[in-house]
Structure 1
């Protein structure tokens, strides 16, 4: 796909494809989906690494997006980047998206009620979510009312993670989530073009967003998805970019051969946890950070300035 190829409107076939993969539309252009770890948590079979790192309760976490539009076509993305959608003519209000999202999560959680292996106490708790991960699909900063959307979730006593690719630094500076993530999946511009396949020249925007992160008034994290044979290289390059942001945390996580990424990459592109750990040590050394924790099940390593981690309150 060329970078100049226009985005296509969402079609009925794309909607059917999304539903097949567990997405519930939230409003006319958002979506909500339960993740693997919510299922596991309800069965007392483990929790997301975010639970171990930050104290998030997996079965009370909503995974959502306010828009399915994205300006990246990342090789490692498990989403259907081969079926892109265009910016809608009219945006849903933050209030409508929040209510639709909560209703969708309620329906999804209801579906677990008939299982005999579910923890009934956790299942009841899941109907009252406490956290929202705004990271399901698409690029959330494309939604023009993202600051107001975050406020709406906060009004309902939900904490928020926002995961952005950093291509819209103006919006990055305007939002106030509980924790801000910037995905940084390449150590330099050349690798960025190959890994993220952006629609347009947005590398300088990402560098600007990292500078904005430095003055952010909330928790911050840089997340790197490591794809073997693609971007597990140049630890000093990553360190130089991360230095501009001075994030509280850096997460280095293995690419997982799931979803639509299987059309672009092979299982051999998944680094082992040991490989992630060794590369994390190199980045930590170049950056002057320390390893704070790791999750072998998720093949992810957490770095922080002081080697400590703190739960979200």
Structure 2
């Protein structure tokens, strides 16, 4: 057979025409290459078609709503739909696992549409003796009654009452419950604190485990509309939060913030079961109802500010801020660090410099005009770098030349960590105080200015003038908006948050020169009409405006140096006759000392105005005879303008150095026969208060202000003076030698820091 095959093959080749063989031998190489290319192309096309089919199989469940035919979303990726709509099983072989990355729960917003969605409040409680259960039941009932009074009661459903001891916690705290379509949930938790093992211990462990479980998203409750916690405690057994007051409620609040991606709708409420729980619970409930109204309108929980809604504990947050502040910043325009003088002066003496934006100088030295120029030019246009810089620093610009900003002490007071020195000296609670200015422009460029030199400067008003009612309404709106943004800050106390929604004091000392505003008296009248006290600070460069100023609750003049040369170096005034203006302002204060509470504010800058200047300051006091003298160490802001003037951290005095200067100043005043004494202190602000003995009544200092008395005197229309609205005696803890920190607040110490006081 082999021979036959060989012979047949030989016959076939022999029978081929010679021309064909010649063509084959001549073109066989290109023919083989062409066939190879065609085969590769066919193979590639086949692979691409298979990939397209796989992609289609993967996307079919997502396309079900786009076509007329429904697709079973439970179908596996290995099944596909045929042309007739029937499911076809894949051919034999291994299954291909096809999927996609799921979105994190914290990345999914819990949007609420008032037109279609419903709010379902869930009231959780834990109770041993039955008190918390009774209060939770009452809360649930009152919420239902309240919701019926709304214009659209159908949006807020009847609340559900749930006992943490009996529910399956995984059904509520691993993911939101699965209810009716278009229903979103809002959690309210009433939690007592016990010193024994209860269901709460298990509940807290469950929350922690849920957050740390790698199989579960770190914020699995992010779809909730919001949450809020109220705690009951006993101050008789646990007087402070550090000692355990409402500690379990605080833990629940912390872990719920983590699990909900910072959906804290209202600050943690805390009530003492033996004293104020009814008042605190009523404030908390009222706040929650306001939040539910905002959600019902589609406004959500509102926007936050840096630090707002941070799920970390307050102490952890502060420690992280401290670590960040120790990092060496890169040289970048507009970047600088601000910190409290006690924390800075006691820990750092380096001369590190940082850069910052230069001041924008609008000065016209030759202008002597005292009338307001009618111009449409805006002081701070919205398109200007000044506007961008100030808003970046946290200012809300009102109109074209005014601003409002939340003071850091406001946040501190809301968290029960203490108020500023004005609380120790004059009884002003920081969370009730609004810090604002009707004029962002100033006539000085002080080396220690906290505002980074970004505000405009000038000697005369050459800009558009906004009406006082526009400014008044605008700064109030801006202040309240910023307060509302703080409701998610860890540690904010519900009762203080509720109090903060009613401004009681206004510090006109934010930035710029408030007295520069042409309608300052009309603005003050609007404050006083709403019984908001006024604290106005001027830099002693506008004597005409100072002389025309109406009654304020307290009038400050910044005394930054004791002589002409020092004042020029520190304040860097723009007026050529700055020293004459300065002295004239002191004379005006002397004339007003029986109509106004007048205050000299001395800002001490080591190397500039401390050494051997106590005598000079005493001469200025003798000239102005203020009611009070505040002596405060400078707070270094670290801008390029400060560094350019030679100001570094070495110029920040220690508190002990401030105290030494105070003793020297008192001695110099005594040598001149001036009756002043050391009344109070606030060591945390590196600040000491000297008072005229006019305010030492029956051997006790009365530096506090009787605010109701002030408004009564003002409304009477009769002449009155500072003694007519003297308040209660200065509290013992605020007196000289006692530190000046309210023991009812919780002092927060950074690592390695302790309070420093000077013995009286």
**TM-score interval for Structure 1 and Structure 2 normalised by the shorter chain:** over 0.9
**Which residue pairs with 1:215 in the alignment?**
591
Does the 8 A contact of 1:179 with 1:219 survive in 2?
A: yes
**Which residue pairs with 1:16 in the alignment?**
388
**Which residue pairs with 1:310 in the alignment?**
703
How does 1:20-99 map onto structure 2 within 5 Å? 20-81=392-453, 83-85=455-457, 87-99=461-473
Q: 1:31 to 1:259 in 2, by over 3 A?
A: farther
**1:293 paired residue among 670, 677, 680:** 680
Query: TM-score scaled to structure 2, two decimals?
Result: 0.40
Secondary structure at the aligned position of 1:256 is classed as coil
Aligned-residue offset at 1:118:
0.4
Does the 8 A contact of 2:562 with 2:620 survive in 1?
A: yes
Does the 8 A contact of 1:79 with 1:259 survive in 2?
A: no
**Which residue pairs with 1:253 in the alignment?**
632
Of 302-311 and 95-104, the range deviating more from structure 2:
302-311
**Which residue pairs with 2:115 in the alignment?**
none
Q: 1:303 to 1:73 in 2, by over 3 A?
A: same
Deviations 1:271-299, CA, capped at 9 Å, x for gaps: 01110111011112212321111111000
Aligned-residue offset at 1:224:
0.7
CA–CA distance in 2 between the matches of 1:75 and 1:154?
33
CA–CA distance in 1 between the matches of 2:454 and 2:650?
22
CA–CA distance in 2 between the matches of 1:160 and 1:116?
30
Does the 8 A contact of 1:7 with 1:84 survive in 2?
A: no
Secondary structure at the aligned position of 1:111 is classed as helix
Does the 8 A contact of 2:440 with 2:455 survive in 1?
A: no
CA–CA distance in 2 between the matches of 1:204 and 1:309?
34
CA–CA distance in 1 between the matches of 2:587 and 2:635?
29
Secondary structure at the aligned position of 1:125 is classed as helix
How does 1:145-224 map onto structure 2 within 5 Å? 145-175=519-549, 176-200=551-575, 201-216=577-592, 217-224=595-602
Does the 8 A contact of 2:400 with 2:464 survive in 1?
A: no
Does 2:650 correspond to 1:268?
Answer: yes
CA–CA distance in 1 between the matches of 2:607 and 2:628?
25
Query: TM-score scaled to structure 1, two decimals?
Result: 0.94
CA–CA distance in 2 between the matches of 1:169 and 1:228?
28
**Which residue pairs with 2:78 in the alignment?**
none
Quote the RMSD (CA, aligned, Å). 1.9
Deviations 1:33-82, CA, capped at 9 Å, x for gaps: 11111010000001101000000011010000111111101111111325
Structure 1 unaligned residues grouped into runs of 5+? none
CA–CA distance in 2 between the matches of 1:46 and 1:89?
39
Structure 2 unaligned residues grouped into runs of 5+? 1-360, 365-378, 671-675, 708-760
Aligned-residue offset at 1:305:
1.7
CA–CA distance in 2 between the matches of 1:116 and 1:205?
47
CA–CA distance in 2 between the matches of 1:208 and 1:32?
30
Does the 8 A contact of 1:226 with 1:253 survive in 2?
A: yes
Aligned-residue offset at 1:85:
4.9
CA–CA distance in 1 between the matches of 2:585 and 2:489?
44
CA–CA distance in 1 between the matches of 2:669 and 2:523?
34
Aligned-residue offset at 1:310:
2.1
Q: 1:82 to 1:27 in 2, by over 3 A?
A: closer
Deviations 1:179-238, CA, capped at 9 Å, x for gaps: 000001010111111111110222111111111111221211000111111111311111
Q: 1:104 to 1:82 in 2, by over 3 A?
A: closer
Does 2:513 correspond to 1:139?
Answer: yes
Aligned-residue offset at 1:172:
1.2
Aligned-residue offset at 1:83:
5.0
**Which residue pairs with 2:482 in the alignment?**
108
Secondary structure at the aligned position of 2:545 is classed as helix
Deviations 1:19-45, CA, capped at 9 Å, x for gaps: 111111122210001111101000000
**1:126 paired residue among 500, 510, 528:** 500
Deviations 1:90-111, CA, capped at 9 Å, x for gaps: 2111111111010000111011
**Which residue pairs with 1:241 in the alignment?**
620
Task: Determine which structure has greater relative contact order: mean sequence separation of CA pairs < 8 Å that are 6+ residues apart, divided by chain length.
Answer: 1
Does 2:658 correspond to 1:281?
Answer: no
CA–CA distance in 2 between the matches of 1:30 and 1:231?
31
Larger radius of gyration: 2
Deviations 1:116-139, CA, capped at 9 Å, x for gaps: 410111111111010000000001
CA–CA distance in 2 between the matches of 1:199 and 1:181?
20
Does the 8 A contact of 2:558 with 2:600 survive in 1?
A: yes
